[in-house]
Structures are given as C-alpha cells and as structure tokens.
A and B are shown apart, each in its own frame.
Chain A
Amino acid sequence: DAKTTQPNSMESNEEEPVHLPCNHSTISGTDYIHWYRQLPSQGPEYVIHGLTSNVNNRMASLAIAEDRKSSTLILHRATLRDAAVYYCILGNTGKLIFGQGTTLQVKP
C-alpha cells in the first residue's frame, strides 16, 4: 500500500483559508486520493476524493499535482467546527489505510 506523509499539526485562524498538504511519492496510477477527517469523539467523516483532476465539493477542494505525487486539501473558510484530525489516504483495493494525519487547530 502506498504511503502518505502529512504534517503532524497545523494551526489556522477562523474564517481564513487552510491548505493541508499531503505527499505521496509512491502513488500508483490507479490509486485514488481520499481525505477523511475525524472530529473528537466521532467516527471518521468523508471529505473529498479524486484521481487526477482537481475536485470541489461543498466541504472543500482537492488540488492534485500534475505528477500526482502530492495533493492539497483546501478549506476555504475555516470554522471552529473544522478542528479535527485530517487523513490523506491512497487506495484502490477497498481498504482505507489511515496514517497519523494532521491535527488542525482553528483559533477564534
């Protein structure tokens, strides 16, 4: 399973954009890039996923590098509710392999 590298923690101010990076230099051509987040005392929650092109949904945007060796999750306006652990996951086989993720703190 291809591995991902994320910073352990990041801080953001409320109502400012947040860019969460993820490196995945060993990604295979068929690996999807998934992002999940886990709020305290809850199960993980799907955020977004993509294969090659940038993706947008109501929660976030996913920017994928042209060589696909890295990606960035973009939260356009962070709120206090966005404070969570964000996981970047690669896969195409049916299992989600979670790393340590990035703990995002949002300051009011």
Chain B
Amino acid sequence: KAGVTQTPRYLIKTRGQQVTLSCSPISGHRSVSWYQQTPGQGLQFLFEYFSETQRNKGNFPGRFSGRQFSNSRSEMNVSTLELGDSALYLCASSSSPASVNTEAFFGQGTRLTVV
C-alpha cells in the first residue's frame, strides 16, 4: 500500500509570506502528527490530529497551525515566515495515536527554505 505522501517536497519562500504543507496518510490511518527538524534543535513535535481533532500541541508559536480533513489528510500552515522556520517538516501517520501501542510511518518530508 502507498506510504505517507508529503507535498511539496521542496519549497522556497520569502520572509513574511505564509506557506501550507500537505500530508496524505496511509489509507485507513486516522492519526497524523507533524514534526520540525533542524540541525540545531533536532526533531521537535508540532501537533497531532486524530479524527479531525487536535489532540496534542507542541511548544511552537501560534503562527504554526494545522488541520485534518474528514479523509484524514492534513495540512499545516505557517504564517509570517521567519528565517528560523527553515527546516524539514515531517508528517507521520498511524492507525491510532502515535506513541501508544502502535507504530508511526513517516513521510519523506517537505524541505522549507525561507529567504
């Protein structure tokens, strides 16, 4: 079966702009979570959605937001981009909330560069 699909794979944006990233989970998975990876901070949890509800949120400013649709696809949005938002954004899907008794499958990520 198809894996987790993230689009686009690469993105270049200018400071102050906003960006929307998309994640299509594995068919049948209802949990989607998002992570930011930078060389300095490593992998950091952004938020987790399960059946269209945000269940957990990491320690990121309100400029970072997300949503999940009824087909489990998820989007994350970053408004008023800053240079420090340049990172690899990873999406993970699982059949039930990740870190409970299940495995999470990660996508290849979206590489965002803010100039």
A interface list, Cβ under 8 A from B: 32, 34, 36, 38, 42-46, 49, 51, 87, 89-101
Interface of B, secondary structure class, is strand
Nearest neighbor of A101 in chain B, beta-carbon distance: B42
Chain B residues lying within 8 Å of A87, measured Cβ to Cβ, are 43
The 8 A-B pairs at the shortest CB distance, nearest first, are namely: A91-B99, A94-B97, A43-B106, A98-B43, A46-B103, A95-B56, A95-B45, A44-B106
Q: How large is the interface on B (under 10, 10 to 19, 20 to 34, 35 or more residues)?
A: 20 to 34
Count of chain A to chain B residue pairs whose CB atoms are closer than 8 Å in the complex: 71
Q: Does B70 contact A (CB under 8 A)?
A: no
- In the assembled complex, B7 has its CB within 8 A of some CB on chain A: no
* Contact flag A45-B106 (CB < 8 Å), given A93-B56, A94-B31, A96-B33: yes
Is the CB–CB distance between B98 and A98 below 8 Å?
no
